[in-house]
Amino acid sequence: MKKSLGNFIELALAYVIIFLILREWLIPVMQLTNTGLVHLFLVFIGLSLVLSLFQVHPMLSGLLKFGYITWFIVFVYSESPLISGQTVPFLMHEWKWNMTTILSGDFGQVSDSFRTVLFLALIWMLIYLIHHWITVRKNIFYFFALTVFFIATLDTFSDYDGTVAIVKVIVLGLIMTGLLFVKRLWLQTDAPSNVIGKWKLAIPMIVAVMLVSVVAFFLPKTGPTWADPVPFIKGVAGQGNHGAGEKKVGYSEDDSRLGGPFQGDDTLIFTATSRDRHYWRIDTKDTYTSKGWILSDGNFGKNVYENNTPIQTSLQVGSPENERQIKIDMAAPMPFLLQTYGMISVSAQDSPLFIQDEHTEKIAIEQQNGESKLLSNYTLSYSEPVYSMEQLETSEPSTLATLDPSFDRFLQLPNTLPQRVMNLGKEITQDKASVYDRIKAVEKYFSTHGFRYDKKEVAIPAEGQDYVDQFLFDTKVGYCDNFSTSMVVLLRSAGIPARWVKGFAPGNPGRMSDGLQEYRITNDNAHSWVEAYVPGTGWMEFEPTIGFAGNVNIDYDIEQDTPQQEQVLQPEIKQEQPKMEEQEPKKETASSTSFSFDSVWTWVKKLTYVWIGLAILMIIAGIALFMQRRKWIPKMQVRAFRKKEADWTTFDASYNALTKQLSRIGLRRKDGETLRAFATRVDESLETEEMQRLTDVYEQLIYGKDRQEVDFVKLKESWEYLINRTIS
């Protein structure tokens, strides 16, 4: 009893240390991916460790973990409670969407909820491995070393500061490694039940580690011996900033020279309280110079709007009955408005004037006397537009030639643009039937051709080198400016009007109150995207940057060619957007591309011979494994039992495994045959005496005879010898 209680306390202490180490492993992942609700992930880690500690039956343990994961997904990603009529349809929709996406090979389109499930499953498996390392191997060194390497790497190559975390992990890891070493050492002695003696070794070790750690922490330290490797790696890779220095993220009016790394800045700009998620639009630019964006020449007017009066823009507005409000609270007041798609009017105190520039559609805020005004808060009225897929699919490419000359500035390209960029734009769009499909093909191109989002390892084009050409064909690494500029240039190369849009991404979701979500938008959320013109519909926003979800509402009103004529309904993209642009983004949860199981089945049928070949290979492999089971099964059993402690429980399991292996080679125990007779026959066949020795001990176990002192180590050797004899 004392031994059992002592082992439980030791294991509980080990799991507490593991929980603290996993917390330091989890926090940088959450910070760099801007994944919220860290406490819910920590609860799952704690739940998994507790279930392992109390050795809950695997079936019950799995049900509890599965139940928590289900609750997690519904709580975070669904607006309905777990016990409601909406839960099962929500989960079924998520399952169907993600399975369809995976089978169609478009892995970048899986939803955030599915990624969360995969991450929780990874934690589940990791804790299972840790439990195995602690209870069987009694060695956690590899996990400890990998954690140190993981934190050190993130500290070096990312914005994460691991100074404190790595000290915590070192201390906890050394204590954990020392405790497991003492346990292994004590098991090799003749008095494993002497718990007090064991702690006489463990306590001085713990005190020594703590004392050395405290002294090391407070001692004066010299600077780093080696130089920062990041600039060197940039230089080798040809991605240095060429003396330009890191730019600071945030909205800027000068976009004439794009490229180069960005320095993060989480300064709060404004807070928006809204029912919906929004992109915050400020202005557009129309002239690409091969290095960046400027404004074209021309005579453009200005429109003046009074407080709380309808504001006209080139964008669609939804139906009046869906009108809603957004409350904007500016932490850093600006002399211009933050616009949202479907904006109708603006209401603010002191009745300012809103001056709209027809060139950029930027809306300045002025007082009645013409001076700029900074508003600390105002309210936007809007109605989100809903686009008809049927109408979008009828946008014939031939209608592009009939557009008004005013669209020419949205087709502008520099004379120095490399021909291969023009060719790529035409190649991507050439086989698409509608203008909308051509735009979506360009938008999707980046997620399927090896491009990578990064805000640090971003090159600046050399003199005479085109910004878009460098990104498309040389580096394929960049952030929103690279992706959005490249999409505009590719669309214009295909004859589709497009413009570059600047503003802020939706921001970080905060608290909810009365159905309204609070979004905090910082400098890190500064963002750029694309607006393209679809004949018959008008200007629409598109999001080419990898890891970002657009905000377009599509009504999939096209009838499918199925007996039931079911409509494939695409959900509104209302996922909470993480901190964007200059921080590592999360992947988009959906796109406006329609998927169905019919399309997946069509894709599968195209690879019929591949599937047949794989099936044949699997059948051959299965037959080969079955035919060779006499050799590989016992080898696996030998490896498994070598790691287990030799005692009565493991002896029972190993003896039964041996009898099964003997039956595989034809030495099956006959009906009515005694164990002794069976053992004698086995020894005669294999020319050994080991089976009788094992059987004598086994009879003590099953017949309840007085158990004599048994040398399980030698019995394990005899058992392994017999197993190897059956293989040979």
Is residue 137 one of the residues assigned to a domain? yes
Same domain, 363 and 417: no
Question: In whole angstroms, what is the distance from residue 17 CA to residue 15 CA?
Answer: 5
Same domain, 151 and 171: yes
43-75 pLDDT, tens per residue? 999 999 899 888 888 889 889 999 998 888 888
- For position 542, what pLDDT does the model report? 94
In this prediction, residue 242 has a pLDDT band, given cuts at 50, 70 and 90, of very low
- For position 262, what pLDDT does the model report? 81
Same domain, 30 and 137: yes
Is residue 351 one of the residues assigned to a domain? yes
Same domain, 202 and 292: no
- For position 370, what pLDDT does the model report? 73
Q: Is the pLDDT of residue 514 over 70?
A: yes
Is residue 244 one of the residues assigned to a domain? no
Same domain, 465 and 354: no
How many other β-carbons are positioned within 10 Å of the β-carbon of residue 180?
19
Of the given ranges (66-80, 523-537, 674-688, 698-712), which has the lowest mean pLDDT? Answer: 698-712
User: Which residues constitute the domain of residue 116?
Assistant: 2-218
Question: In whole angstroms, what is the distance from residue 151 CA to residue 28 CA?
Answer: 8
Is residue 272 one of the residues assigned to a domain? yes
How high is the mean pLDDT of the chain?
80
Same domain, 57 and 191: yes
pTM metric for this prediction: 0.49
Number of domains in the chain: 4
323-345 pLDDT, tens per residue? 999 999 998 888 899 999 999 99
- For position 572, what pLDDT does the model report? 41
Same domain, 698 and 667: yes
Same domain, 282 and 339: yes
Same domain, 209 and 94: yes
Same domain, 328 and 209: no
Question: In whole angstroms, what is the distance from residue 548 CA to residue 541 CA?
Answer: 13
Structure tokens at 686: 């294999």
How many other β-carbons are positioned within 10 Å of the β-carbon of residue 267?
12
- For position 159, what pLDDT does the model report? 65
Q: Mean pLDDT over residues 263-280, rounded?
A: 88
Three-state DSSP class for residue 174: helix
Which residue, 591, 609, 640, sits at the end of a domain? 591
From the list 474, 451, 452, the residue with the least C-alpha distance to 461 is 474
Is residue 197 one of the residues assigned to a domain? yes
From the list 447, 595, 589, the residue with the least C-alpha distance to 506 is 589
Q: Is the pLDDT of residue 586 over 60?
A: no
The residues that bridge with 248 in the sheet, in sequence order, are 263
Is residue 518 one of the residues assigned to a domain? no
Which residue, 387, 417, 438, sits at the end of a domain? 387
How many other β-carbons are positioned within 10 Å of the β-carbon of residue 726?
18
Which residue, 363, 387, 411, sits at the end of a domain? 387
Same domain, 383 and 427: no
Same domain, 311 and 397: no
H helix or E strand, kind and range, residue 177: helix 163-187
The residues that bridge with 516 in the sheet, in sequence order, are 513
Is residue 519 one of the residues assigned to a domain? no
Is residue 231 one of the residues assigned to a domain? no
